[in-house]
Structure 1
Amino acid sequence: MNSFRCQLPLISLFFLSLIDQYAYAQVPVYESVNVDSVAVPRGGYPMLETFLKANVQKPFMAQVANVTGKVYVKAVVEPDGQVADVQVIRGLRPDCDREALRVVRLFTAWKPAWKDGRPVRQAIKHTINFTENESLIYKSGWVFNYFDINRKKTDRIKNAKYVTAMAVDTMRGVPNGDLVVSEFYLGEWNEISRYSLHKERISNDLPNAETAIMISYKPDGTDWFGNFYVINTDSLIINKGILEGNEGNLVQFYKNGTVKYIISNKDQRCIKWHTNGIIQYDGILTNESSSAAGDFASINEAWDSTGNQQVKKGFGHAFYHSTIPSRLASGKNTLFFEEGNYSNGLKHGTWIGITKDKSYSYTERFDRGKEIGGEVIINDRSIKYDNDIESGFIGGKEAMFAYLSNNIKYPPECKGQNISGKVIISFKVNVDGSLDDFVLVKGIDLYIDREALQGAKLLNGHWQPAFERGEPKSVTYVLPLTFQSAQSLRNPLVLGNSFFGNYFMLKSFMR
């Protein structure tokens, strides 16, 4: 009997919970014509459309079939701005329908409808578009790409000289087996190279030091190449590199599957989102940067998490928060708050920053992006400085390229093939000026890429570390190297990339 009495409060709470849920479910859902103000996305419908464009991922088999069309979805915007009861009212095909439901549930930044002076539930409808994708040739678990004699991708299979075959899983299109390269010779396809899928455990540069597996191709003694994926212990994709013709993006995701940021390999443009789907900022990264606000060369647009625009067309007052290591307690993190003005996309005037635990703060002055001095306080210790110092080759860029030109040669294996183009390499500059973590971001040919990497590694020992607010700072440096063959010097046309496509920065922006 006593045992039963002890359980009575728990039973009562259980039934009260059921009653609350039942009562909430009975709250009426209004149509848009029956409310005083309708439910709208915070930041407006352009904000929602930008979110959907970044987050809709056409299912792999739908890409194979090149499916196009619309999925019509309905949902309920709750009084707290969340979405519920998301349903397909007119579908396209099951896998596309599931994707449409997924992305609609991810956007949780709605202004609720109002009626009679209070927020109410309102039904909404929206369409999710699946547009035409680049032709994808798939057969029995393999994706095929064809290339002409100049190693440029082609849809004219009869005229192809090379073909790559990559084993993939059909759920996500992620590589799950070998990459085979074949050449058409004497009327038949002959295998010339085979690369095994490489999986490597990584953790240092991932959010919250999360352990994950990088998946791509990495021949012995060389660097990663091709598309890559970083998958965590829950089998969720954290990062991936995406090919778009001859251009590449790096994409990082939040744990709920929402895109966190997209960085363009072409121009270093970065769009970063809040977890609810609102854009946090849109700007251009510096060469030595992560996707933190302080590492942007310029900011064009910025919003807070409620959809209020802070910076518009490069002008405004911005307030940021991030998580950084505490200077008070080793091994612990703390929130870091920063704010200041932008003028024409550049920091201007006085900027201030302080951590929640008050172990670190700064006051900094800018003149249209140029730093003109400041003071940082670390646990009551003051450091005054004139300006930040960028890392670089001792003697300057001209001296660096002169040094590289004397140490990097056009590979003899490529002579007569007219292979020209730009190789991009990234590496880490440590606080003592030493260099490591060399990564091939973009390549043009196996022999040229290898020569470029070997030459870049010779820069170690000739480098000035970066200083930020009076302290040395480790950074990632991006180095472009242009190769031109003797034939291409007579012919200004630059041929396309190698048949592996672009290369991607794998670790530089995984923070």
Structure 2
Amino acid sequence: MKNLFLFCALIISTSAFAQEPVYKNFETDSAAQPRGGIPFFNAFLQNNLRKPVVVEASGLSGRVILGAIVEIDGRVSDVKLMQSFRPDCDREALRVFSLFNAWQPAYKGGKAVRQTVTMPVTFKASAPYAFANGTRITYYDTKQNLLPDSSARAEFRQVTPLDTNGLPNGDIVVFQRKRQEWKESYRLPFVRQKIEERSPWGKPVFRQGIQQTTKQWQGWVTDIDQDGKAVRRVFYENDKQTNYELTYHANGVVAQRTDYGDQENTLRSWHPNGQIKQVWTVPKPKTMTITQPDQIAAFWDSTGRQLVSEGNGTVIDIQPVMSRSDSSRQTRLIEQGLLKAGMKQGIWTGRYADGSYHYEERYDKGICQGGKALTAGSDTVRYAVHQQQPEFKGGMQGLGNFLAQNLQYPPNAQRANAQGKVYISFVVCTDGSLCDYEVQSGVHPELDQEALRVVKAMNGRWKPGNQRGQNVRVKYNLPINFTLQ
């Protein structure tokens, strides 16, 4: 009898919820709108919308009109197509619109109510390019200048396989015109390799994209987890990050965008529901050892409440982390503290929700003056600085002396007039030893191998990196310059 009563109660409750009225905007006292207004909503669309590759290649622009119900908790439901542009764009617009759940609900009679909304999603025009059978085709003259077509001036034809989002998914093949026929000249491999990092949700990560013969990444490079979820996307030119970088939440929402500048990097982040979270800048370090503090301009919680405005306020930040007591389990880091003029000031604390880690730090104008950290089951660790980068014993001068004494110029590279910077990446382990060596950006095979040999000879000559009083593994990128006199 009790089970029957519970079943009937559930039916009545569900039925009552389903019968909650849905109003139109003109029927409410205050209409539903994106938190922060249309500019924040458009910024969300701009960073999350992926124009289908066929539409991108054709240069088309168009608009999709969508309808939905904004629920009283700010989520959207019953998202549907009101006006079509084309099927692939319709699907993308529906995907992105459904991810935005940061609405200020409508109110009527002092009570939050459900309301229908109609919103446009615009796909902007783009520069068209040749695209056929899943590949982008570009033509170049003898000096590698880009040409608009395969006219008689075209000496090379480059064929780049792309997926539906316009990202590389196969080898780039370059053909050269010989006697009016295109013959394969060389190819740049599409590489997929596991990297040391894990996704914020704890999954192994793979990096994929195009590599040049010198192992330099070229073009769009994507980090994905073992289930195919995007973790990070960045554009490389000559193995250097350019333009901007995107990272993602587990649900597919862009978590952070970093725009690279000459003097500073500008960053914006979002909560998983699409609510804008933080806007801040990171100054470029003027030396290898001196860095300037970040400047935080604004901060919002996941409900849209602005906690920091014009650099002043109190931050309460919650983000996913891996537990310190069980590395296979995820928990939450709750960090909070005061900001003045955009910089950390006074006492800042952080704690893991599962109790596995806690820290407390004191700041003055963004510079850490000291702190203490406690990992469950361990003693309290006290530290003077928040973090220290790995350092060659003897500092930069010692590193320079070591390179001058040990680096040799290979004869074949000299005869080939090869010169430039070779970038070697390696990991400085917690005991100061080195591992995971890799030529990140090469110049000439013999120069690359010589740079690698010398870096390996540095093993045991480094001080490890340190974070909150504990030694940590740090990936380090070292440029080694070869110059002919």
Tell me the TM-score normalized by structure 2: 0.80
3-state DSSP class of the match of 1:207?
Answer: coil
Structure 2 CA distance for aligned equivalents of residues 366 and 139 of structure 1: 57
2:136 alignment counterpart:
143
Structure 2 CA distance for aligned equivalents of residues 188 and 465 of structure 1: 57
Q: 1:272 to 1:177 in 2, by over 3 A?
A: same
Q: How far off its partner does 1:82 sit?
A: 0.8
2:249 alignment counterpart:
254
Q: How far off its partner does 1:273 sit?
A: 1.7
More divergent stretch after superposition (329-338 vs 273-282):
329-338
| Mapped pair 1:66 → 2:62 | no
| Mapped pair 1:386 → 2:379 | no
2:20 alignment counterpart:
27
Residue by residue over 1:6-53, the C-alpha shift from the partner in whole angstroms, topping out at 9 and shown as x without a partner, is: 9x849x83x876665554444332222221122122233322222111
3-state DSSP class of the match of 2:171?
Answer: strand
Which of 263, 268, 273 aligns to 2:270? It is 273
- Read off the aligned partner of 2:472 and give its amino acid letter: K
Structure 1 CA distance for aligned equivalents of residues 265 and 480 of structure 2: 17
3-state DSSP class of the match of 2:93?
Answer: helix
Which of 82, 100, 107 aligns to 2:100? It is 107
Q: 1:188 to 1:316 in 2, by over 3 A?
A: farther
1:428 alignment counterpart:
427
Q: 1:375 to 1:234 in 2, by over 3 A?
A: closer
3-state DSSP class of the match of 1:180?
Answer: strand
Q: How far off its partner does 1:94 sit?
A: 1.5
Residue by residue over 1:46-85, the C-alpha shift from the partner in whole angstroms, topping out at 9 and shown as x without a partner, is: 2222211110100111112111122222222111211122
Q: State whether residues 35 and 304 of structure 2, in contact with CA within 8 Å, keep that contact through their aligned partners in structure 1.
A: yes
Structure 2 CA distance for aligned equivalents of residues 172 and 28 of structure 1: 39
| Mapped pair 1:469 → 2:468 | yes
3-state DSSP class of the match of 1:61?
Answer: helix
- RMSD of aligned C-alpha atoms? 4.0
Q: 1:376 to 1:36 in 2, by over 3 A?
A: same
2:74 alignment counterpart:
81
1:164 alignment counterpart:
158
Structure 1 CA distance for aligned equivalents of residues 447 and 296 of structure 2: 33
1:308 alignment counterpart:
305
Q: How far off its partner does 1:105 sit?
A: 0.6
More divergent stretch after superposition (460-469 vs 403-412):
403-412
Residue by residue over 1:319-366, the C-alpha shift from the partner in whole angstroms, topping out at 9 and shown as x without a partner, is: 223344544556555433221223343322222223334443222222
3-state DSSP class of the match of 2:72?
Answer: coil
3-state DSSP class of the match of 1:317?
Answer: strand
Q: State whether residues 39 and 122 of structure 1, in contact with CA within 8 Å, keep that contact through their aligned partners in structure 2.
A: yes
More divergent stretch after superposition (300-309 vs 447-456):
447-456
Structure 2 CA distance for aligned equivalents of residues 226 and 475 of structure 1: 26
3-state DSSP class of the match of 1:381?
Answer: coil
Residue by residue over 1:441-488, the C-alpha shift from the partner in whole angstroms, topping out at 9 and shown as x without a partner, is: 6x58676994796366665444322222221122334556778899xx
Structure 1 CA distance for aligned equivalents of residues 142 and 457 of structure 2: 33
Which stretches in structure 2 are left out of the alignment for 5+ residues? 286-291
3-state DSSP class of the match of 1:47?
Answer: helix
| Mapped pair 1:131 → 2:124 | yes
Q: State whether residues 287 and 478 of structure 1, in contact with CA within 8 Å, keep that contact through their aligned partners in structure 2.
A: no
Q: State whether residues 423 and 444 of structure 1, in contact with CA within 8 Å, keep that contact through their aligned partners in structure 2.
A: yes
Residue by residue over 1:90-142, the C-alpha shift from the partner in whole angstroms, topping out at 9 and shown as x without a partner, is: 22211111111111110001110110121111122222121123443212232
2:186 alignment counterpart:
193
Q: 1:66 to 1:434 in 2, by over 3 A?
A: farther
Q: 1:31 to 1:356 in 2, by over 3 A?
A: same
Q: State whether residues 93 and 121 of structure 2, in contact with CA within 8 Å, keep that contact through their aligned partners in structure 1.
A: yes
Residue by residue over 1:414-448, the C-alpha shift from the partner in whole angstroms, topping out at 9 and shown as x without a partner, is: 749xx97x87665433222234445676x586769
Q: How far off its partner does 1:260 sit?
A: 2.0
More divergent stretch after superposition (61-70 vs 228-237):
228-237
- Read off the aligned partner of 1:275 and give its amino acid letter: P
More divergent stretch after superposition (21-30 vs 381-390):
21-30
| Mapped pair 1:321 → 2:318 | yes
1:241 alignment counterpart:
234
Which stretches in structure 1 are left out of the alignment for 5+ residues? 289-294, 487-511
Structure 2 CA distance for aligned equivalents of residues 29 and 103 of structure 1: 23
2:288 alignment counterpart:
none
2:361 alignment counterpart:
364
More divergent stretch after superposition (229-238 vs 91-100):
229-238
More divergent stretch after superposition (203-212 vs 127-136):
203-212
1:497 alignment counterpart:
none
Q: How far off its partner does 1:181 sit?
A: 2.2
3-state DSSP class of the match of 2:170?
Answer: strand
3-state DSSP class of the match of 2:20?
Answer: coil
Tell me the TM-score normalized by structure 1: 0.76
- Read off the aligned partner of 1:251 and give its amino acid letter: L
3-state DSSP class of the match of 2:198?
Answer: coil
Q: State whether residues 347 and 362 of structure 2, in contact with CA within 8 Å, keep that contact through their aligned partners in structure 1.
A: yes
Q: How far off its partner does 1:275 sit?
A: 0.4
Q: 1:462 to 1:175 in 2, by over 3 A?
A: same
Q: 1:228 to 1:344 in 2, by over 3 A?
A: same
More divergent stretch after superposition (246-255 vs 38-47):
246-255
Q: 1:157 to 1:260 in 2, by over 3 A?
A: farther
Structure 2 CA distance for aligned equivalents of residues 461 and 147 of structure 1: 48
Structure 2 CA distance for aligned equivalents of residues 265 and 478 of structure 1: 18
Structure 1 CA distance for aligned equivalents of residues 59 and 256 of structure 2: 26
Considering Cα pairs closer than 8 Å and 6+ residues apart, tell me whether 1 or 2 has the greater RCO. Answer: 1
Which of 50, 53, 56 aligns to 2:43? It is 50
Structure 1 CA distance for aligned equivalents of residues 45 and 9 of structure 2: 38
More divergent stretch after superposition (205-214 vs 47-56):
205-214
